Amino acid sequence: MEEHLESTARAIIAHFGSQAVEVAATRARDLARRGDWRGQDMALMVLNQVERLSEYGLRSKPN
């Protein structure tokens, strides 16, 4: 499942760029509002991966 989460997170980052974290967080909130707890759990795992990859990307860029 880890590979699926990472590929999903990379796709979100590629599509939304600097807005990827906000988009992933909004998706998790929307699923929670609808009571889709399984969906929210998955969305939170994707959000976590998006945050990790975004943070790594920011740190790995030269100054």
Model pTM?
A: 0.84
Which residues constitute the domain of residue 27?
2-60
Among 4-8, 10-14, 54-58, the minimum mean pLDDT is found in: 54-58
Number of domains in the chain: 1
Contact 43, 27 (CB under 8 A): yes
- Give the pLDDT of residue 62: 46
- pLDDT average, residue stretch 34-51: 97
Contact 8, 48 (CB under 8 A): no
Q: Is the pLDDT of residue 41 over 90?
A: yes
In three-state secondary structure terms, 62 is coil
Share of the chain residues as helix, strand and coil, in percent rounded to the nearest 5: 90, 0, 10
- Report the alpha-carbon distance of residue 5 to residue 14 in Å, rounded: 14
